[in-house]
Amino acid sequence: MYEFILAFAHSAVLLAQDAASSQLPKAGATLGVGLAALGAGVAEGGIGAAAVGAIAEDRDFFGLGLIMTVLPETLVILALVVVFIV
């Protein structure tokens, strides 16, 4: 959630500077990373709750629950790759 707030604030500052300058692609990229972080956070919350329930029932699900909880964070990593390309 904090990633989203920081990226949104950064994009708002960049947009306020000058919409016609070269800052616009950077503002769009930071907004994209922020939205990707928000989506990953929402997904990790639901998956984490389900993983804890599954692990409480059977401890063999620990590895699978850990992998599934970390999987949405790859979305943010791919969004950062796009930022570096822009």
Torsion on CA atoms 32, 34, 37, 42, rounded to nearest 10: -110
In the chain, count H helices and then E strands.
4, 0
pTM: 0.62
The domains of the chain are located at: 2-85
The two three-digit tokens of residue 55, written as one number: 């692990």
The two three-digit tokens of residue 40, written as one number: 């990953």
The more confidently predicted of residues 27 and 72 is: 72
Contacts of 37 (CB under 8 A, 6+ apart): 1, 3, 4, 7, 76, 79
- What pLDDT, on the 0 to 100 scale, is given for residue 14? 59
- What pLDDT, on the 0 to 100 scale, is given for residue 21? 59
- Place 12 in a pLDDT band, splitting at 50, 70 and 90: low
